[in-house]
């Protein structure tokens, strides 16, 4: 008595259904994109004076003041009078964002203080980086 197999498998007809795996990959991709925080870089790397910071800090808003008193936000130069709407837009993107002002050693103190005062008026926690 010969026993027959219950499963008839043709090796040419077998295919792997990739749809469920692609669904999982896209769901993971969407999850990582939604949960990631994008930091906007200022666009210029000013020469900063040396100082010690006691605690590490990761700000969400980076502002650089160059030696020519240009305020750089997200790789774009601005004057002090033009930065208020830009910072407001960044704060609206991330209401809990903290800011850091990176001042060049040759930058005028008045420009750096004007930026800090604006950040204070907008109630954004700000530090001035000197290292």
pLDDT in tens for each of the 131 residues of the chain? Answer: 556 556 665 556 677 888 889 999 999 999 988 888 777 777 777 777 676 665 666 677 888 998 888 999 888 899 888 999 998 888 888 888 888 888 888 888 888 889 889 888 888 877 776 55
Tally the domains of the chain: 1
Range of the domain at 92: 61-129
Q: Do the domain assignments include residue 36? A: no
CATH of the domain at 108: 3.30.420.270
Q: Do the domain assignments include residue 106? A: yes
Q: Do the domain assignments include residue 1? A: no
pTM of the entire predicted model:
0.56
Q: Do the domain assignments include residue 26? A: no
- In angstroms, the Cα distances linking 45 to 41, 84, 106, 130 are 10, 21, 13, 12
Q: Do the domain assignments include residue 30? A: no
**27, 65 Cβ separation under 8 angstroms:** no
């Amino acid at each position: 008595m010969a026993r027959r197999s219950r499963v008839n498998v043709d090796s040419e007809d077998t295919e792997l259904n990739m749809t469920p795996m692609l669904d999982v990959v896209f769901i993971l991709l969407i999850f990582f994109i939604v949960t990631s925080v994008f930091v906007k870089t200022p666009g210029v790397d000013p020469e900063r004076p040396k100082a010690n910071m006691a605690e590490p800090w990761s700000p969400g808003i980076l502002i650089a003041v160059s030696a020519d008193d240009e305020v750089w936000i997200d790789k774009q130069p601005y004057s002090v009078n033009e930065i208020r709407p830009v910072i407001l837009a960044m704060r609206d993107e991330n209401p809990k964002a903290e800011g850091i002002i990176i001042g060049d050693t040759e930058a005028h103190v008045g420009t750096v203080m004007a930026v800090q005062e604006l950040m204070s008026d907008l109630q954004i926690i700000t530090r001035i980086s000197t290292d």
